[in-house]
Structure 1
């Protein structure tokens, strides 16, 4: 999860035309205007008010209200009920939200995204209430909920994720591959608004499906480029740059030698100039943000300046084992530093792979060490998950504060995820010393304490590259 993600999101909102901006507000139906007012009140409403709102949303006549907006309202009501600890009511509301009819055309993407958020929250509710076995059957109730490409791609992405989270890794891979094969190759009929959900699905393909992933990303990038050069839409610029970045990243992670980064950057600047010609002032700002972010990401692909240098000396707090540990104990061993965060989904998804790596090579002299930061979390014993103790607290206050509650939260979190390799926490300055720009970041250190490789991400390709490097260093 890169720190540029926020930049990309802001930029994407500039160049994406959502339903509100694409329609004249005066042309909205009275029902849609009423829903807009409701959206503004949901977060301040109590249980009774939310139940009344839910009934109103459910009874709105089809054809007189924007369906994407309707699903958003229903989903937000469920989210607010969850905040109020009305979990059963929230679950019922999420089910109502995902049963609502979908929109077509340009609104289909937003509709599918909002549906996905509601369904995801319902899945988390089932997991947290000990009903994980119901997640996939519940999702499958909505397999034929919509025939739009946006929905199919979004649904497939959600389902493969939950197959993975519930422990069916092989099932997740097979379902993902099958879904991509059904949606590709793209045709001239592929709509611009379908490219984002298609990209979000394809990017999850693993190392064993690298050829399918590469050809699919190439097709998405080509469709995006065509839409921009023809002046049809500026929205795909973010998809185009994401495809180029991911293709480059995968090539490096898959072990290709002498990867030419300029090859993947070629044409991006020229395409941005074409986009600028068609852009409004607001869109131009978004395109510039995307371009700057892309350039930084590609720069980060270059070999780390840390390679060949000794591990920086930084202050650490050992979290596990509780009695503390020492890097001195690791002299003569190969060490993998796994930089992660408690809020980072890809980081958590890589835990089993890191644990497997540790178990596989432990006797040969490997030590995996998890490295996290202070983020101001504590453990919610009722919901059994970490929560931010103060949403508005400054990072400087977190760094200098008492970390006892967060140490406890991290230990509980690691226990939940069955992680038993050493863990430590560092401050933001330490992150900078290690050159950490995104999470997860993996740094491989040889037996002499010299950094030999820096990897990012949690993909199969990344972990395959990591395994190869560890094996080589252990055999030196």
Structure 2
């Protein structure tokens, strides 16, 4: 086992005791502990102290704070004592004492940064920053998170050249810093530090002796850069292709690695269900390829097995969609309207006698957003000739950030009304004035209109007959839709 892996597992075992209730601590974990530590008296002492802290927290949380500070004072250089601040911080956060929880994570981070030359502490920094990020937001002290990121990143950069650096926590730091810069509207600076870290990781991965850990760190960085976080909007599309390539390469080099199997499966699922929907035929080939590569790992890897089941459900739903050929020349199927995002009192009858372009889309869909200029142009050109665009989307639990002018998936529960308000803000921001409906959950409208990927356009003539169906974005598709609109408007009612 490499030093990198040993340091990671050593910290992970302590963290497991801190974060996982003793009643569900698996026997398999204890086996790993025994293998790595044998008769580890330090681990036994750690467990005893953690048990005592739990008892203190159950009786009096403030007394538990005093107790832990006293233990730290006795053993200021003990990482085992320091890491107990995770447990205390978590308990305080559960009681909505976010400012007090923040103090515990800040103290722990201060210790970890001071001992950053130890790889165990580098991995610890990653976990601490995740906790600190959450409670700083809840405590309304976002500046504390920015300061923590800056402090830790500088400490990493100040390490002597010969000191080994753990790739994953450093990459996590870079992304956090980049997101902070984007929040300050310093997009170029953010892109610069991300590109520099990616270049370093790509160089490390190109080494024939590169470890599984290094390849996973490369994939993990790209996953962070393509996550639904709104700060990734400026580069997500650019890094999606890089993520797929990195996952494929890593999986090929270490086919028995369960975490690289998971990375590959998760990325394929996102490609199939979100990022590559605009080419249904290519997507079907992607599904077949995913099953070919993952069916064997799925036998022993439960996560991969679950992802393949989700892909199969998606494929069945796509296969249930009406073939495009059966739609053209037929009366357009019924609309299924749960509500309108930016208009009221509108029904399908409101558009009778008009040429209507149904645009199936979503706020998270990059190719959909790429069509917005065309939608604006067509409405400006043909709007006074009996033409209208009607957007069709679904609920995705998105919320609007008015400061950043972005919509992103919410970690909390968003009501249908709130999401329609988010849609209205999104449409206004993108200067889209055509009406947009939201179909109810479980609606079959998309299936009835042959939607297998988005953006998906259905052009309906004045008599209500489907005349054109196109999926995807791009100049050729836009020209075909434009020409058909012009043709249909040239015909008399």
TM-aligned CA deviation for residue 85 of structure 1? 2.5
If each structure's helix is expressed as a fraction of its own residues, which one has the higher value?
A: 2
Among 444, 461, 471, the alignment partner of 2:458 is: 444
Corresponding position: 1:289 with 2:306: yes
TM-aligned CA deviation for residue 253 of structure 1? 3.8
CA distance in 1 between counterparts of 2:302 and 2:310 reads 12
Per the alignment, residue 8 of structure 1 pairs with: none
Structure 1 counterpart SS, 2:146: helix
TM score, norm. by length of structure 1: 0.61
Corresponding position: 1:40 with 2:90: yes
Per the alignment, residue 432 of structure 2 pairs with: 419
- Equivalent residues of 1:378, 1:389 under 8 A apart: yes
Corresponding position: 1:433 with 2:458: no
Corresponding position: 1:227 with 2:254: yes
Structure 2's unaligned 5+ residue stretches are 1-5, 15-32, 38-42, 44-78, 488-493
CA distances 1:167-220 after superposition (whole Å, capped 9, x unpaired): xxxxxxxxxxxxxxx89989674744156347657999x9xx99x998995675
Per the alignment, residue 177 of structure 2 pairs with: 119
- Equivalent residues of 1:238, 1:290 under 8 A apart: no
Corresponding position: 1:360 with 2:372: no
- For residues 138-287 of structure 1, what are the structure 2 equivalents within 5 Å? 140=192, 148-149=200-201, 189=210, 191=212, 192-194=215-217, 196-197=219-220, 200=223, 217=244, 220-221=247-248, 223-228=250-255, 231-233=256-258, 235-236=260-261, 238-239=263-264, 242-243=267-268, 246=271, 253=278, 259=281, 263-266=285-288, 268-276=290-298, 279=300, 284-287=301-304
- Equivalent residues of 2:278, 2:454 under 8 A apart: no
- Equivalent residues of 2:358, 2:389 under 8 A apart: yes
Question: Which stretch shifts more, 81-90 or 213-222?
Answer: 213-222
TM score, norm. by length of structure 2: 0.59
Per the alignment, residue 60 of structure 2 pairs with: none
CA distance in 2 between counterparts of 1:268 and 1:351 reads 25
CA distance in 2 between counterparts of 1:248 and 1:78 reads 29
Change (3 A) 1:300 1:223: farther
Per the alignment, residue 491 of structure 2 pairs with: none
CA distance in 2 between counterparts of 1:92 and 1:77 reads 11
Corresponding position: 1:467 with 2:484: no
- Equivalent residues of 1:81, 1:87 under 8 A apart: yes
Change (3 A) 1:82 1:226: closer
Report the aligned-residue RMSD. Answer: 5.3
Higher gyration radius (CA): 2
Per the alignment, residue 390 of structure 2 pairs with: 369
CA distances 1:42-84 after superposition (whole Å, capped 9, x unpaired): 6344335524532441343124443233133134323322223
TM-aligned CA deviation for residue 293 of structure 1? 2.4
Among 116, 123, 128, the alignment partner of 1:73 is: 128
